[in-house]
Amino acid sequence: MIHALLIGSVAFVLSLMLGRPTVAWLNAKEIGKSISEDAPSSHSVKSGTPTMGGIFIWATVAVMTLFTNLLVFSNGGLRIEHESMLLPLAVVVTAALIGLWDDFGTLVGGTRRGLSWRLKFVLIAILACAVAATMYWGLNAQSANIPWLGQYPLGPVYLVIAFVIVFSTTSAVSITDGLDGLLGGTAAFAFGAYAVIAFLQGQTFLAVFSFTVTGALLGFLWYNAHPAAVFMGDTGALPLGAALATVALMTGHWLLLPVIGVVFVAEALSDVIQIAYFKTTGGRRLFRKTPLHHHLELLGWSEPQVVMRLYLFGMAGAMVGIALALSV
């Protein structure tokens, strides 16, 4: 655990160091986000804030993973250790490229078009299929850890479950990205919880990866705290969801995702409920605006209040998730 925590701390420092020049470069290139018309009017002042800050989150994770958790110097050369870590690393790179493509369509004054929601869903679905297949055939994972009951094999059904987990988690985490510091903090709690769970299972390498992501997110929050100097964009959000789902699958405790990621679940459900209610009632709305964080803003909560109060749920969910994992 000491090693994993130290690696996470180094990731924090590296992310902090990479953040300043990255934000300066994004400002110089005028890579500013265009605020959606669906957001509350108070968000209009954020128009032009640099986006794609996920670049330095994942640059940090990639460097730290390669040199502290994957490549090892042996007999005068490099060899790969902990080959299973290639999966979350590949997931991060792939999802970041999808997010980068989409972010280009949300820039102020931009002429390029981002991804349509259909194409984005197709690409996420392809990634989810690849993760499910790798887990099942590559890592021989096909079971669920159920609190108080133990581990149960699922057979080929696991493929469908893994696909749904990756697809839904990636989408839910992306939806949560909408307020300064909200996703970065809640995702840090979730990865921290899975780091502890992985360590308790003896999967030290997975704990190191999870704490690396946690550290990189803490460094990002230095620049993303209200009022944000940079947004992570889909370049950061999509890999966060995909990587979190992958880590959950690798621990076998994917059933705990709705608990550890309770904020992500609430955010996604608010969207689903709003759409369903709107269609079944002929245009009426249950929430003032979705996702949930916008509804809370329109109730009169300030942005820092919304973020801090959702942090509390995120921390509580992480603690309960670890407790449940200990019961298996």
Q: What is the pLDDT of residues 53-81, one digit of tens each?
A: 999 999 999 999 988 887 766 666 667 77
**pLDDT at site 42:** 61
Tokens encoding 215: 């550290």
Residues in Cβ contact with 55 at an 8 Å cutoff, skipping those fewer than 6 apart: 22, 96, 100, 235, 236
Distance CA 4, CA 220 (A): 19
88 near 241, Cβ under 8 Å?
A: no
**Cα–Cα nearest to 19, from 236, 172, 207:** 236
Crossing angle of helices 54-69 and 204-224, in 10° steps, is: 150
**Contact assessment for residue 292 and residue 112, using Cβ atoms and an 8 Å cutoff:** no
Structure confidence at residue 115 (pLDDT): 74
Angle formed by the axes of helices 262-280 and 303-326, nearest 10°: 110
Rounded CA separation 111/43 (Å): 22
Looking at the DSSP bridge assignments, the partners of residue 215 are none
Taking Cα atoms as reference points, which of 183, 176, 148 lies closest to residue 255?
Answer: 148
> How far is residue 33's CA from residue 108's CA, in Å, rounded to a whole number?
6
Looking at residue 139, its pLDDT comes to 92
pLDDT tens for each residue of 260-314: 999 999 999 999 999 888 888 887 888 888 899 889 988 989 999 999 999 999 9
Closest by Cα among 183, 159, 166, 167 to 57: 183
- The answer to whether 136 and 178 have CB atoms below 8 angstroms apart is no
Per-residue pLDDT reduced to its tens digit, 84-129: 899 999 999 999 999 988 887 777 655 456 678 889 999 999 999 9
For residue 71, CA distances in Å to 67, 122, 138, 195, 246 come to: 6, 33, 20, 20, 21
Q: Specify whether the CB–CB gap between 158 and 142 falls below 8 A.
A: yes
Instruction: Look at residue 112 in the predicted model and tell me its pLDDT.
Output: 53
Distance between the two ends of the chain, CA-based, in angstroms?
Answer: 20
Instruction: Tell me 35's DSSP state.
Output: P
Q: Are 293 and 310 in contact (CB under 8 A)?
A: yes
pLDDT tens digit string along 191-211?
999 999 999 999 999 999 999
Backbone angles phi, psi at 22, to 5 degrees: -65, -45
| 149-171 tens-digit pLDDT | 889 999 999 999 999 999 999 99
